[in-house]
Amino acid sequence: MTKSSELFARAQKRIPGGVNSPVRAFRNVGGEPWFVARGEGARIWDVDGNEYVDYVGSWGPAILGHAPKVMVDAVRDAATRGLSFGISNPLEVEMAELICEWVPSIEKVRMVNSGTEATMSCVRLARAFTGRDKIIKFDGCYHGHADPLLVKSGSGALTHGHASSAGVPRAFADLTISLPFNNAELVKKAFQENKNQIAAVIVEAIPANAGLYFPRDNFLSALREECTRNGALLIFDEVITGFRVARGGAQEIYGVMPDLTALGKIIGGGLPVGAFGGRAEIMDQLSPDGSVYQAGTLSGNPLALAAGLTQLRELERINGWKLLEHLGLHLEELARAAIKDAKLDVTFHRLGSLFCLFFAAGPIHDLAGAQTSDLKMFTKFFWGCLKRGVYFAPSQFETGFISTSHTPGDIQRTGTVVRDVLAEL
Ligand code: HOZ
């Protein structure tokens, strides 16, 4: 019995499903999850000593790779001064200033402890600001696990067949309208049918929780126009895309300004963090200035912010976005050549350091398209790569992440593994 198996047997007795987040359970790739011992750069080792090139990167935040010295030093340094105070600290001001400088639409920002808190707080704020209750989201977009957003959701909820969660009161779910991504006409119709009732449209500007696909035909600007015309707020969930696809996130790339933005992961460098921000007149509705309550003992935690600030500054110092594009393009070229030679119906999507393979002919622009992927093929692909030392997310409905610490050699090796595995399918 491996050490991972032993740990999983113990975990299942005391942790529901043996995991603290469902995506870790390997359920839809049909096997047991392994337990990680450590990581360094682009590599991770399991408790049995197996080594993998990692393309999950803690689901996004490890954009510089694992345990970069500069960040470990920053966290260690911050820890010697105290782990948590529940009192304002200087790093909170530095982080707020950095976020407002880098993210085009954010004038004021508040730190929270997870992406879920960030999106949940955006929705509450939007409801208070507009005096309306309903929200529009999109099928397959995942915005964490708060009640209003677990309707036709992506990520683990979709993977495990509970895209609309049990336990969400019907009355809450009825206030959430979920529509197919990339269909602006249906958004227009929903606004017409729910006149003066829609508080906000919340969207992953680049959906990355049902595989990866992209907005097209000016979909994001159409959302912007509909929200403005109807007095609703536009919320971008940039928990994955923020600081990764560009310094200013997806909103910088597409040039569409949301009213509110949810951020997470990367700004904590792997420690638990989220943030939400936007127009000052909306953010000023928050307590203590306004009447929208939102709070957190650990919010703005000095260790998390030391890690996050160091990571973001390092990313800028090394021009990480250029490097990530270079590495991503290299992987794309290798993957596309392997797909062509394997003569398989595989659709490869990539933007910068985000990528995904669907086992379907495509084109794929929404959840329905993503669900045409052959999951049996994905499962074989996943295990084939893992056995050869390359770790991709254990679900079709997730995204791959490249870090700045992946070397050209890692990418080349991954390309060879992808080629070998596809050839065997
Ligand atoms: N796709 C998820 C986050 N965006 C994966 C992480 C998790 O749910 O644990």
pLDDT tens, residue by residue, 315-334: 999 999 999 999 999 999 99
Question: So what's the pLDDT on residue 204?
Answer: 98
Q: Which tokens go with 36?
A: 């990680």
- The answer to whether 171 and 158 are in contact (CB under 8 A) is no
Question: So what's the pLDDT on residue 400?
Answer: 98
- Select from 296, 316, 336 the last residue of a domain: 316
Q: 144 C-alpha vs ligand 1 centroid, how far in Å?
A: 8
Q: 87 C-alpha vs ligand 1 centroid, how far in Å?
A: 30
Question: 257 with 338, same domain?
Answer: no
Rounded Cα–Cα distance for residues 423 and 342 (Å):
5
- Select from 272, 296, 316 the last residue of a domain: 316
Q: 106 C-alpha vs ligand 1 centroid, how far in Å?
A: 24
Question: 77 with 201, same domain?
Answer: yes
Domain limits at 182? 69-316
State the CATH number of the domain containing residue 345.
Answer: 3.90.1150.10
- Select from 263, 286, 316 the last residue of a domain: 316
* 376 labelled catalytic: no
Question: 218 with 110, same domain?
Answer: yes
Question: 85 with 206, same domain?
Answer: yes
- The answer to whether 304 and 271 are in contact (CB under 8 A) is yes
Question: So what's the pLDDT on residue 124?
Answer: 98
* 142 labelled catalytic: yes
For the chain, what is the domain count? Answer: 2
Q: 40 C-alpha vs ligand 1 centroid, how far in Å?
A: 21
Pocket of ligand 1 (CB under 6 A): 21, 23, 59, 142, 155-156, 209, 240, 398
Q: Which residue among the candidates 137, 152, 265, 410 is catalytic per the annotation?
A: 265
Q: 111 C-alpha vs ligand 1 centroid, how far in Å?
A: 19
Question: 337 with 287, same domain?
Answer: no
Question: So what's the pLDDT on residue 156?
Answer: 81
What is the mean predicted confidence (pLDDT) over 289-310? 97
- The answer to whether 246 and 290 are in contact (CB under 8 A) is no
Q: If DSSP states are collapsed to H, E and C, what string results for the chain? A: CCHHHHHHHHHHHHCHHHCCCHHHHCHHHCCCCCCEEEEEECEEEECCCCEEEECCHHHCCCCCCECCHHHHHHHHHHHHCCCCCCCCCHHHHHHHHHHHHHCCCCCEEEEECCHHHHHHHHHHHHHHHHCCCEEEEECCCCCCCCHHHCCCCCHHHHHCCCCCCCCCCHHHHCCEEEECCCCHHHHHHHHHHCCCCEEEEEEECCCCCCCCCCCCCCHHHHHHHHHHHHCCEEEEECCCCCCCCCCCHHHHHHCCCCCEEEEEHHHHECECCEEEEECHHHHCCECCCCCECCCCCCCCCHHHHHHHHHHHHHHHHCCHHHHHHHHHHHHHHHHHHHHHHHCCCCEEEEECCEEEEECCCCCCCCHHHHCCCCHHHHHHHHHHHHHCCEECCCCCCCCEECCCCCCHHHHHHHHHHHHHHHHHC
pTM over 0.95: yes
Best probe residue, ligand 1, of 398, 399, 401 (max atoms within 8 Å of C-beta): 398
Question: So what's the pLDDT on residue 306?
Answer: 98
Please say if the pLDDT value at position 153 is more than 90.
no
Question: 10 with 93, same domain?
Answer: no
Question: 78 with 11, same domain?
Answer: no
Question: 338 with 310, same domain?
Answer: no
Best probe residue, ligand 1, of 19, 21, 158, 397 (max atoms within 8 Å of C-beta): 21
Question: So what's the pLDDT on residue 157?
Answer: 80
Query: From atom 1 of ligand 1, which residue's Cα is the shortest distance away?
Result: 155
Q: If pLDDT is split at 50, 70 and 90, which confidence band does 165 have? A: confident
Please say if the pLDDT value at position 161 is more than 80.
no
Please say if the pLDDT value at position 265 is more than 90.
no
State the CATH number of the domain containing residue 213.
Answer: 3.40.640.10
Question: 114 with 239, same domain?
Answer: yes
Query: From atom 6 of ligand 1, which residue's Cα is the shortest distance away?
Result: 59
Question: So what's the pLDDT on residue 28?
Answer: 84
Specify the ligand 1 atom closest to the Cα of 240.
Answer: 4
Question: So what's the pLDDT on residue 367?
Answer: 97
* 77 labelled catalytic: no
Best probe residue, ligand 1, of 15, 19, 20, 23 (max atoms within 8 Å of C-beta): 23
Q: 80 C-alpha vs ligand 1 centroid, how far in Å?
A: 31
- The answer to whether 251 and 278 are in contact (CB under 8 A) is no
